Amino acid sequence: MNPEDIVASEAWLRTILERHRPEAKDRELQVHMELDPRFQIRPSVDLANAVDGLLGFVLATIPDGCEIFVASTKNMAPVARLGSGTLTLRWQVTGFELPASEGNVRPIRPVAGGAASHLTSKPAQRVEALFEAVPAALEFSAADGDRELWARVTIES
């Protein structure tokens, strides 16, 4: 691995996130990031497309006005595996809408829930397929009583 092939994961990730900034702003989504500056990565078009696809899935499943938590950590690995680390995303998912009550009152936003159903959806399967072609492993899990999704991407570059 040549040193010139390695970039800071923070700068690389911010470039990908920037593509989604207009939609996040329009939908009043908050992005909270805790990125490890020690985590460096060997970027590739395929990896960028996989992470971009994951962010698209996040945006398709998160209700307006919610928060996306993004964290990165450098794996404890020898220098020869400098580009290995973990990217974690956590977000609340849109579940279902409650039917109108007798007074015809509806909630303003969809009720959170249904994380498990999102995990088995075709969009989730498409994101998983994107990660099969890159040196990274994607793991989805439901959390917080089926109201949130976690995506953990372990990158071995």
Q: For the chain, how many structural domains are there in total?
A: 1
Quick: pLDDT tens for 86-107. 999 999 987 655 555 566 565 5
68 within domain boundaries? yes
**104 inside domain:** no
CATH of the domain at 33: 3.30.565.10
Specify the pTM. 0.84
Question: Does residue 101 form part of some domain?
Answer: no
Structure confidence at residue 19 (pLDDT):
94
**21 Cβ neighbours under 8 A, 6+ residues apart:** none
Residue 102 lies in a domain: no
Residue 147: pLDDT band by 50, 70, 90 thresholds? confident
Give domain status of residue 121, yes or no.
yes
- Classify residue 92: in a domain, yes or no: yes
pLDDT tens for 9-59 read 888 899 999 999 999 999 999 999 999 888 888 888 999 999 999 999 999
Q: Where are the alpha helices (DSSP H) in 35-121?
A: 45-61, 115-119
Where in the sequence is the domain holding 130, given as residue range(s)?
3-96+109-156
